[in-house]
Amino acid sequence: MTTEALLRAARRSLFAATALALAGGMALPAMAQSPAPNGPASVADLAEGLLGAVVNISTSQTVKGTEGPGAVPMPQLPEGSPFQDFFDDFFKDRGGERGGGGSQKVQSLGSGFVIDAAQGFVVTNNHVIADADDIEVNFSDGVTLKAELVGTDTKTDIAVLKVDPAGHKLTAVKFGDSNRMRIGDWVMAIGNPFGLGGTVTVGIISARNRDINSGPYDDFIQTDAAINRGNSGGPLFNMNGEVIGINTAIISPSGGSIGIGFSIPSQLAVSVVDQLREFGETRRGWLGVRIQPVTDDIAESLGMKNAKGALIAGIIKGGPVDNGSIQAGDVVTKFDGKEIDDMRDLPRIVAESPVGKAVDVVIVRKGVEQTVKVTLGRLEDGEKLASGEVGGGAEGGSEETGNDGEQDKAVATASVLGMTIGEMNDEMRGKFGIAADVSGVVITEVAKDSAAAERGVQAGEVITEIAQESVATPKDVMDRIGALKEQGRKNALLMLASKSGELRFVTIRMD
């Protein structure tokens, strides 16, 4: 028998033995089967105890004419059409073009949850009840109660409602600590998607600290628990039955859940809800500064090892730090004991701090770390002050040239870093519309494809500082750039003022 024939016979014998073992129920060592898994633990008990605290929010609003989403415009018919009378009657008082100011009721649905059973306080999203004429809260047992609006906060999209619990026993839930939640932790959402009340979905925390550009304090929890239209304002629970988020937004091209939902973390929501309950409005802390990110180039220019913190780009006149305690060009790295890793951390942490509180602020000023004491103002008052304040603050300009005046006049214009710069005078102010309280060196032209153009520098802006040193003449600018090159610096940090005085920092390559 040949070698090939022997191999074929061996294969047939092995196949026959395997078939016999399977037919006889014999377990082959290499094919041992493991017990079937039971799947994840049931959340039925948890959901059962929470469903009574989650409510449906129903609102109605009266809109006129074509303002409502249900308004239908009058079709454009040919002259003398036999259907003219029919359409005139149909669209009469329906908000169409010939309706003559007709109105209609627009209704919407959302979710919410009870946080105080005794007093009847309910939390939801502001956008769920915005501009509503009537608000009703529908409970899982079929009871419907009229609700009054206690207060809203558009910055975080939170609203607090109140119902009269007399004669109706409410179930409440508590807030948990969202800071303790980790990516991968299980969460449960309960709400009213597409009007289907009492819907329970389960998923995990997919990400944290998401900024979706919806407001100044974005710090969302991202989850893959199914969240759809109508879930807005509903709770996101941890596995202890505590609310660690308020469901508020989704990303979806189709309008349905694709597993990307966002919840306001309880850490941010609790203080807002407490203020709305107590005052009917928010009372946030306020520092009175304008800020921008600390990039790698800016960190290098400031002599910082790491790009972290919030760079102070301007001081609001009349604000809490308009006394020189914090200056433009400072970098805030810690506020009231909390690390400021990114620029957007500072507004949120300051806003969460009590009005009038004296706090320690750690700053880096000209490469040296120091701590200053600041007493916070109130953001709501500061917004009114800031809206009427044009300039960038006392730190933006320069009162001294640092050089002999006659010597400065010897250089009226200069070219540096792709910019043509000139002295500030009445002619320049008129040409570029520069405000009277803005001082420094005017940028009259920016070369295309230059390093300055790449950073968005434009003609009409004013250089007020270079490397945190004030400049008032073109010679000051040339001297500062020359000094930086001698020090081996690769970038120059410029503080620029807009025509109206708004300040910002840019770094420009000097190679």
| Residue 474 near residue 423, CB atoms below 8 Å | yes
- pLDDT surpasses 90 at 361: yes
Going by C-alpha positions, the residue among 187, 193, 210 that lies closest to residue 50 is: 187
DSSP string, 289-358: EEEEE--HHHHHHTT-SS--SEEEEEE-TTSTTTTTTS-TT-EEEEETTEE--STTHHHHHHHTSPTT-E
Beta pairing partners, 158: 125, 153
Q: Give the HSE-up count for residue 37: Cα atoms under 13 Å, Cβ half-sphere.
A: 3
Q: Which residue has the tokens 């839930």?
A: 173
- pLDDT surpasses 70 at 74: no
Which of 111, 232, 257, 263 is the catalytic position? 232
228-272 per-position pLDDT tens digit: 989 999 999 999 999 999 999 988 777 778 889 999 999 999 999
Q: Span 405-509: which CATH code?
A: 2.30.42.10
Is 168 catalytic? The answer is no
Is 85 catalytic? The answer is no
Stretch (H or E) spanning 21: helix 3-23
Q: Span 45-66+90-275: which CATH code?
A: 2.40.10.120
10 Å CB burial of residue 372 (0-12, 13-18, 19+) is middle
In this prediction, residue 412 carries a pLDDT of 67
Domain limits, CATH 2.40.10.120, in the chain: 45-66+90-275
Which of 58, 111, 157, 330 is the catalytic position? 157
- pLDDT surpasses 90 at 442: yes
Beta pairing partners, 443: 421
- pLDDT surpasses 60 at 95: no
Q: Which residue has the tokens 């060009």?
A: 329
Q: Are strands 310-315 and 289-293 parallel, antiparallel or unpaired?
A: antiparallel
Query: What's the mean pLDDT in 45-58?
Result: 94
In this prediction, residue 509 carries a pLDDT of 87
| Residue 263 near residue 250, CB atoms below 8 Å | no
Q: Rounded mean pLDDT of the chain?
A: 81
C-beta atoms surrounding 35 within 10 Å:
5
98-120 per-position pLDDT tens digit: 444 556 666 778 999 999 999 99
| Residue 285 near residue 352, CB atoms below 8 Å | yes
In this prediction, residue 177 carries a pLDDT of 96
Query: What's the mean pLDDT in 342-362?
Result: 92
SS (H, E, C) 246-264: EEEEECCCCCCCCCCEEEE
- pLDDT surpasses 90 at 310: yes
In this prediction, residue 124 carries a pLDDT of 96
Beta pairing partners, 99: none
Domain limits, CATH 2.30.42.10, in the chain: 285-387, 405-509
| Residue 179 near residue 292, CB atoms below 8 Å | no
369 vs 67 pLDDT, higher one: 369
- pLDDT surpasses 60 at 149: yes
3-state helix, strand, coil in the chain (%, to 5): 25, 30, 45
Question: In CATH, which superfamily holds the domain spanning 285-387?
Answer: PDZ domain (2.30.42.10)
Stretch (H or E) spanning 375: strand 368-375
In this prediction, residue 3 carries a pLDDT of 46
Is 470 catalytic? The answer is no
Q: What is the C-alpha to C-alpha distance for residues 346 and 78, in angstroms, rounded to an integer?
A: 62
Side chain identity at 178, as an amino acid letter?
Answer: S
154-209 per-position pLDDT tens digit: 999 999 999 999 888 999 999 999 999 999 999 999 999 988 889 999 999 999 99
Q: What is the C-alpha to C-alpha distance for residues 334 and 297, in angstroms, rounded to an integer?
A: 21
- pLDDT surpasses 80 at 424: yes
User: And the tokens for 14?
Assistant: 């092995």
Which of 103, 116, 127, 325 is the catalytic position? 127
